[in-house]
Amino acid sequence: MKLEDKKIAILATDGFEKSELFEPMNALKEEGAQVHIIAPESGSIKSWDEKDWGESVLVDMTLANANPADYDSLVLPGGVINPDILRVNSEALDFIRTFFNQHKPVAAICHAPWLLINAGVIENRIVTSYKSIKEDVINAGARWQDDEVVVDEGLVTSRNPNDLPAFIDKIIEETREGKHEGQTANA
């Protein structure tokens, strides 16, 4: 078990891409990590599963009660709905910025780089994303690469659910390594 004694936050809300939350969550737990689902509201949040609503997951803690200092890394699942809602939530953006300011690993897949854009932490970074937001990423000052996983000083990004094996491997690796001193929030 590679992640014993590690705590990982997954920040999401309704409309997260089912595989992009459940697959990392299950893999991280299998490696011994304590994983918490963090959301703006308590209760449960519902996934989007390709063409319709899918399985729900219980929220472990609300954003208002979550402290980034308690976690070793942050995972941001994609989908279209989930990051579009969270990118205008100031608490969510502050939560993300704090991980960057504390030099902790952050992993974002699919449309989740929208959150990095709105948090002001993507400028001058090398990242990937879902192809439809490539221009958003570039316009925010990042260098976009078309690779299954891109790692830049603790920031792990991937394009879509097909990239999940590589994405999960890098989350595990970066969480084991810990802090990255070059990583900081620009906003």
pTM: 0.96
Can you give the pLDDT at residue 50?
86
Give CA–CA dist 174/55, Å, rounded.
28
Q: Which token pair is 157?
A: 């990004």
> Which residues on adjacent β-strands are paired with residue 16?
47
Catalytic residues: 110-111
Name the amino acid, one letter, at 143.
R
Q: Chunk the chain into consecutive blocks of 10 residues (it has 187) and report each block's average pLDDT, rounded to whole numbers.
A: 95 98 98 98 96 96 98 97 98 98 97 98 98 98 98 97 98 90 53
Give CA–CA dist 45/32, Å, rounded.
24
Select from 182, 121, 126, 176 the least CA-distant residue to 151: 126
Can you give the pLDDT at residue 80?
96
Give CA–CA dist 11/86, Å, rounded.
9
Cα three-residue angle 159-132-148, rounded to 5 degrees: 15
Question: How many CB atoms are located within 10 Å of the residue 32 CB?
Answer: 12
Q: Where are the beta strands (DSSP E) in the chain?
A: 7-11, 16-17, 34-39, 44-49, 52-58, 61-62, 73-76, 106-109, 126-127, 143-144, 150-152, 155-158
Can you give the pLDDT at residue 178?
85
